[in-house]
Structure 1
Amino acid sequence: KSLPILKLADSKNARPGEFVIAVGSPLSFANSVTHGVISNIQRKIDMNDSENQFFNQGGRNSSKDIHYIQTDAPITFGNSGGPLINM
């Protein structure tokens, strides 16, 4: 069955409290869906902090901080790269 294509949105329009769903394949469970709300839209991780070196795998420039959208949707390994969709 043909499904509609989702348009990519500008993450700058995300707002705390918005309902979201996360889609991914955690631990090889394909097409898993969870839901939650956006908790923070400018969560910053200091890449120079030794406790955050996990986030610096893959050769990212450790001199730059990276901003994340934080959600309380329950996600785990394998959801990486999956979409976070606002409702």
Structure 2
Amino acid sequence: MIGWIGFGCCTIAYLLLNFRYIRFDGWLFQLLNFLGGAGLAIKAYDLRDLPNIFANALWGLIAVIGIVKYFKSRRDQEIPSKS
């Protein structure tokens, strides 16, 4: 079931992005990609499929970096500069 949820999250993220309901640099796109990558990596681990474990774990890691950048950017916009 985890693999199917991962597949669904990646597919929904891509679909919403292509129909411009979400942005590639938004938190929702990144979250869906993280959940998708994690779910697919877990399923690949269950199957002992090393290339897919690494590919999907990297996909999830890239999404985490995107989420961190998004919230850091938002925080930086809210805090006025002391210049």
Q: Which has the higher strand share?
A: 1
In the superposition, the TM-score normalised over structure 1's length comes to 0.19
If asked which structure has higher relative contact order (CA below 8 Å, sep 6+), I would say: 1
Q: Which has the higher helix share?
A: 2
